[in-house]
Structure 1
Amino acid sequence: MHVTHLSLVDFRSYAGVEVPLDPGVTAFVGPNGQGKTNLVEAVGYLATLGSHRVASDAPLVRMGAERAVVRAAVRQGDRQQLVELEINPGRANRARVNRSSQVRPRDVLGIVRTVLFAPEDLALVKGDPGERRRFLDELVTARVPRMAGVRADYERVLKQRNTLLKSAALARRHGGRGADLSTLDVWDQHLARAGAELLAQRTDLVAALEPLADKAYEQLAPGGGPLALEYKCSAPGPAAGREELYGQLLDALGEARKQEVERGVTLVGPHRDDLVLRLGRLPAKGYASHGESWSFALALRLASYELLRAEGNEPVLVLDDVFAELDARRRERLADLVAPGEQVLVTAAVEEDVPGVLTGARYAVAGGGVERR
């Protein structure tokens, strides 16, 4: 799969830009702050409905504009599709496929698939558990697009349940009558059902990812491993089957209810889990050096790419200002590993930051323009 054309309207710094793209390597080169990352961020947005740089949509819309449009022509084998997302901060986003009647934004998931390397990836190793949960959930959705709906259901139920618990906690603290918790059992069932599906997908993913990540780490840093991934669950288990997971989550919610009512927040579920990263016998967080942490983060991305490719739809590889962050050894090894990709998009401040093995198209990005050289 590869993107053959990218079109942006009022996205980030671009009032409008049209960028034809070829298979193989394309590098966007220009000084910092000129809009290189905005281009690859737009491709990533089509794949995930989110940005790797910001948590909300508002910064994606050019200042003074009401909405932004990201449009891409995508080729997979002999099939060509046109996918479009209209970003409306504060209102519902809109989506179209092949200029047809509107579909839900999450219905476009799976048309574009990306694996993105960026300086922010260091947070996968050094950051809080939320970074690692996001990594898992985006990859789960890339593998199984319907999981976008499961994730949305889980977040909706979690929000409703937390609102109920918070009301109960506030009532207790102010000496009033306790809130009506009669509906809590129903919310528990909904949370456990969606949570069991999400938990099953995450644990399946970790099992598939671990050997690939270990291999990638050895390629990036020979002799530096072994690498291990451990899914740390807030509920007992996890068990093998979804029904068992559902039962375990229900039981754990029941056991935690008194404490949850006191604190006003849901304490059990996939939103509380973590992915523990180990290098040798030690957790990578807090023990791995800067170089080891970089290699670990890169190994997770390379493993993601290999997993998606093995499942039949090779993703676009995006390397956003990564090579400037790496020493010469890691730079060359990473370049050798990604060079054969069907489509590789690279951003760099200077031409010298793009390893020589990554030959292909070059675009100069400056002054709001994108010009092929």
Structure 2
Amino acid sequence: MHVTHLSLADFRSYPRAEVELGPGVSSFIGPNGQGKTNLVEAVGYLATLGSHRVASDAPLVRMGAERAVVRASVTEGGRQQLVELEINPGRANRARLNRSAQVRPRDVLGVVRTVLFAPEDLHLVKGDPGERRRFLDELVTARAPRLAGVRADYDRVLKQRNTLLKSAAMARRHGGRGADLTTLDIWDQHLARSGAELLAQRLALVAALRPLTDKAYEELAPGGGPAGLAYRSSAGEAVEEGASRDELYAALLGALGEARAQEIERGVTLAGPHRDDLVLRLGDLPAKGYASHGESWSFALALRLAAFGLLREEGPEPVLVLDDVFAELDGRRRERLAELVAPGEQVLVTAAVPEDVPAGLTGSRYAVAEGRVDRV
């Protein structure tokens, strides 16, 4: 899979941009603040319906514009597809596929697949559990785009359940009778059902990633591992790899029941996939808090390389995006990462200066400055 043309309208700093691309390595080079990352962010948005830089869509629309449009032509196995997303902050986004009638944005998931390396990846190791949950869920959706609907259902039920719990908590604090909680059992069942499906997919993903991550870490930092992955569930030890969806449903339902009194007191849902974590270990120690800066970088890169390897095994090879990552690495890691990604079908690199692009990543180069993208 590779992107052959990228078109932007009012996306970030670009009133308009048209960029012809091809397979192999394409490097976008220019000073900071000129729009290099905006280009690869747009490709990533088509793949995930989100940005690796911001949590909401509003910053993606150029100041003064009402909406932004990101469009890409994609080639995979001799088949050409055109995918388009219209970003409307505060309103529903719109999507088109092959210039057909409008489809739901999540219906275009899978047309573009990416694996992104960025300086923010260090948060996968050093950051909060939410960073690692996002990593898992984006990869789950890349493997099976239908899971976007499951994630949306879970988030919707969670929001409604939290609203009910918050109302009950506030009423109790102010001496009232409390909200009507007769529907809480129904919300528990809905949350456990969609949560069990999401859990099953996450657990299967962790099992598949585990050997690939350890292998990638050994390639990046020989003798520094082993690098291990484990899933920690807020529903307790009953949630384990290989459990059926019915078993996961029962475990989640039980955990919600046990936590109910505390949830009503605090006004928030305390059990479910939204409270879980991916535990990273180096040897016998957790990576978070114990790994050095270099070890943390190697682990983060190993996770991305494992994701790339898994997606490549299971379907069209994803586009590799390396957003200003080489400037963050020491010489050894820089060269080793370049060796590992260079064979990719399409590799998109951003860098402030040409010297930040390793010599092994030869290919097309683009100068990015003052809203222009020129092939050099």
Instruction: Return the TM-score normalized by structure 2.
Output: 0.99
How large is the RMSD of aligned CA atoms in angstroms?
Answer: 0.5
Map 1:77-226 → 2, pairs under 5 A: 77-226=77-226
Map 1:1-373 → 2, pairs under 5 A: 1-236=1-236, 237-239=238-240, 240-373=243-376
Query: What is the deviation of 1:203?
Result: 0.5
Cα distance in 2 for residues equivalent to 1:31 and 1:361: 18
Query: What is the deviation of 1:238?
Result: 1.0
Query: What is the deviation of 1:348?
Result: 0.3
Q: Match of 1:139, SS?
A: helix
Cα distance in 2 for residues equivalent to 1:243 and 1:108: 30
Q: Match of 2:101, SS?
A: coil
Cα distance in 2 for residues equivalent to 1:353 and 1:168: 55
Query: What is the deviation of 1:178?
Result: 1.7
Q: Match of 2:343, SS?
A: coil
Cα distance in 1 for residues equivalent to 2:315 and 2:48: 18
Query: What is the deviation of 1:102?
Result: 0.2
Q: Deviations over 1:162-218 (max 9, x none)?
A: 000001111111111121001101100000000000000000000000100000000
Query: What is the deviation of 1:255?
Result: 1.1
Cα distance in 2 for residues equivalent to 1:209 and 1:174: 49
Q: Match of 1:145, SS?
A: coil
Q: Using the aligned pairs only, state the percent identity.
A: 83
Cα distance in 2 for residues equivalent to 1:63 and 1:170: 39
Q: Deviations over 1:269-290 (max 9, x none)?
A: 0000000100011100010000
Q: Deviations over 1:314-365 (max 9, x none)?
A: 0000000000000000000000000000000000000011011101000000
Cα distance in 1 for residues equivalent to 2:170 and 2:59: 35
Q: Match of 1:340, SS?
A: coil
Query: What is the deviation of 1:296?
Result: 0.3
Q: Deviations over 1:91-146 (max 9, x none)?
A: 00000000110000000000000000000000000000000000000000000100
Cα distance in 2 for residues equivalent to 1:319 and 1:20: 18
User: Residue type matched to 2:181 in 1?
Assistant: L
User: Residue type matched to 2:112 in 1?
Assistant: V
Runs of 4+ in 1 over 6 A off after TM superposition: none
User: Residue type matched to 1:45 in 2?
Assistant: Y
For structure 1, the residue ranges without an aligned partner over 5 or more in a row are none
Cα distance in 2 for residues equivalent to 1:40 and 1:97: 20
Q: Deviations over 1:7-29 (max 9, x none)?
A: 00000000000000010000000
For structure 2, the residue ranges without an aligned partner over 5 or more in a row are none
Q: Match of 1:194, SS?
A: helix
Cα distance in 2 for residues equivalent to 1:175 and 1:2: 61
Q: Deviations over 1:200-253 (max 9, x none)?
A: 000000000010000000000000000000100000321410011001111111
